[in-house]
Amino acid sequence: MNRKSAIPPCLPLLALAALACNSCGSFAANARKSAEHPPQASSPLDGGFGLAMTTLRATALATVRQPVTTLRTGGALAWNRSREFVRANISLADLPQQPPPYTPGSEAFERALERKGIRKLAHGTVRARVDGPEFFPALQREVAAARETIDTQVFIFDNDDTGVACADALRARSRDVRVRVLFDDLGTTLAHTAAPDTPGPNGFSPPANIARYLENGSRVRARRILNPWLVSDHTKLIVIDHRTAFLGGMNLGREYRSEWHDLMVQVEGPVVGLLQREFNRSWRKAGPWGDLALLRSPARRRLPPGGGPLLRLMRTDPAEGRYDILNATRLAIRASRKRIWIENPYVASDEIADDLVAAARRGVDVRVILPSRSDSGIMDAGNHATARQLMAAGIQVLRYPRMTHLKAMICDDWTTFGSANLDTLSLRINREFNLASNAPEVVRELERRIFLPDFRRCRPFRPAETDGPLNPLAESIADHL
């Protein structure tokens, strides 16, 4: 990011106030669309009551149920906010940087990840489901075919027509199989106040409470993920019958079904057992016993045999001191010799930007795809500031013709994809979930389905497009998001 403008003393308060306006978009900005398409958003009264209840749950209930998580999250939040306040005024791009003696995709690189405490590998196959018209029908088929369990975790379970259709499918299947639903309390509540860009069907009326809608007249069990200190769980993970899973950037709502460019991957094989354990842990923690539920070790199924590529699970979880995604991303960029290809809706991390500049200066092919216009004005300013810095170093910064919410990266012969943006929230504060792999077939899948087609759809940013009168202030706020 550009450090020419000093950060105002009130920035930490501004950043905290803007916190709810980032992950998966600026809900405050989108809420203005509610007047255009009122049937697709909750009424102001319902929305205000929902936000009040979310605030209560994020403070009082979270402190009672999750005292350890609340304490650890508060400490991590204070440290990371203070650190970013200092880091935003310091550029390290000009410091000499010696790349490691290995490249992304090599066995030495994988061993370096393990030395950083990033989880070991498990086998599984990966199939990219690009955009809503691919993902939602695939999800519908798997839900219809489920024989035992359907476990769903999203940041946003929207109450628009797409979200309600997903809820109806889960309600119907709950008569035959166990259905559990987890959603982030803050993200979902804020999304209910924001209408999508496109109008819904005539006569549609959104339910005010999606948890109640899911459970009424069905056997669905729904739980809210609490938000101590307004920290969210941004994970998107759906596991069916311990045999197939979906993860990536899509929530359950109309934007993801028909408006935005995005990615979910369908995973099968032994790794699904590890993904099921991730869901089960989140489910227990979101229950009435909170942190105490994690003291009991649940019975675990043995991972089924199977082959396929090796996949690595990576988390951001400040309450557990885990910054896998940040550490792996920075190591991959620093170790790259041939290429760094990134597509991400919010690129506001100074550390990532400085590492990309250093990589370009040593001759790496660096290309970054950003949305033409995101759903957050603040994050647009952050993207533009990053774009200016990267373009000045000769990096190709490409403009996707519409909103891309897709989060993927290829560094040499290694790739990562999932829920994490390249900003402070995703890399240091919110809970996130990515997969990574050095398997040639997985790298080729992302290259073939994502990057090569999107390079053709994009055009380069022009310098004039990154200017704006309020960009210096907005950029400083974006540094904290």
213 pLDDT more than 70: yes
SS3 364: coil
- Confirm if 227 and 135 have CB atoms less than 8 A apart: no
61 pLDDT more than 90: yes
Nearest to 266 by CA among 442, 454, 24, 452: 442
SS3 26: coil
Pairing outcome for strands 221-225 and 237-240:
unpaired
At residue 30, the pLDDT reads: 45
The confidence band for 93, taking pLDDT boundaries of 50, 70 and 90, is low
- Confirm if 192 and 206 have CB atoms less than 8 A apart: yes
CA 207 to chain centre: 25
Q: Specify the amino acid at residue 286.
A: A
At residue 28, the pLDDT reads: 42
The confidence band for 478, taking pLDDT boundaries of 50, 70 and 90, is low
Nearest to 421 by CA among 236, 230, 169: 236
412: phi > 0 → left, psi -120 to 50 → alpha, else beta; which? left
Q: What is the pTM of this model?
A: 0.90
At residue 39, the pLDDT reads: 56
Average pLDDT over residues 49-65: 93
Residue 357 lies in a domain: yes
CA 469 to chain centre: 29
At residue 49, the pLDDT reads: 86
437 pLDDT more than 70: yes
Nearest to 159 by CA among 135, 186, 190, 182: 190
State pLDDT tens for residues 306-359: 778 999 999 999 999 999 999 999 999 999 999 999 999 999 899 999 999 999
Average pLDDT over residues 264-268: 97
State pLDDT tens for residues 365-386: 999 999 998 877 778 888 988 9
State both tokens at 158: 């929207």
The confidence band for 41, taking pLDDT boundaries of 50, 70 and 90, is confident
At residue 299, the pLDDT reads: 73
Average pLDDT over residues 437-465: 96
Residue with tokens 């958003």: 41
Range of the domain at 156: 11-478
Nearest to 236 by CA among 224, 218, 250, 225: 250
Residue 1 lies in a domain: no
Query: Phi, psi at residue 393, to the nearest 5°?
Result: -95, 5
> What's the start-to-end Cα distance of the chain, in Å?
13
Average pLDDT over residues 218-240: 97
State both tokens at 226: 């609490």
Sign of the Cα torsion 75, 77, 83, 86 reads negative
Report CA-CA distances (Å) from 354 to 188, 383, 400.
34, 14, 23
- Alpha helices (H) along 20-99: 27-31, 44-56, 62-65, 67-87
Query: Of all residues in the chain, what percent carry a pLDDT higher than 90?
Result: 72
Nearest to 430 by CA among 22, 31, 29: 22
- Confirm if 346 and 22 have CB atoms less than 8 A apart: yes
Average pLDDT taken over every residue of the chain: 88
* Total domain count, the chain: 1
7 pLDDT more than 80: no
358: CATH = 3.30.870.10
The least confident of 35-44, 122-131, 179-188, 421-430 is 35-44
Residue 246 lies in a domain: yes
What interhelical angle do 107-115 and 324-335 show, nearest 10? Answer: 140
Residue 195 lies in a domain: yes
Instruction: In whole angstroms, give the CA distance from residue 235 to residue 316.
Output: 10
291 or 380, higher pLDDT: 291
Q: Specify the amino acid at residue 327.
A: N
- Confirm if 260 and 402 have CB atoms less than 8 A apart: yes
Residue 6 lies in a domain: no
DSSP states of 194-257 = ---SS---TT----S-HHHHHHTTS--EEEEEP-GGG--B---EEEETTTEEEEES--BSHIII
Residue 3 lies in a domain: no
CA 68 to chain centre: 24
At residue 378, the pLDDT reads: 79
The confidence band for 31, taking pLDDT boundaries of 50, 70 and 90, is very low
DSSP for residue 270: T
Count Cβ neighbours within 10 Å for each residue of 167-193 and write b for 16 or more, e otherwise.
Answer: bebbbebbeebebbbbbbbbbbbbbbb
178 pLDDT more than 70: yes
The least confident of 113-122, 163-172, 223-232, 434-443 is 113-122
SS3 455: helix
Residue 21 lies in a domain: yes
Residue 5 lies in a domain: no
State both tokens at 253: 């709502």
The least confident of 19-28, 113-122, 171-180, 455-464 is 19-28
Nearest to 433 by CA among 288, 278, 295: 278
Instruction: In whole angstroms, give the CA distance from residue 94 to residue 361.
Output: 10
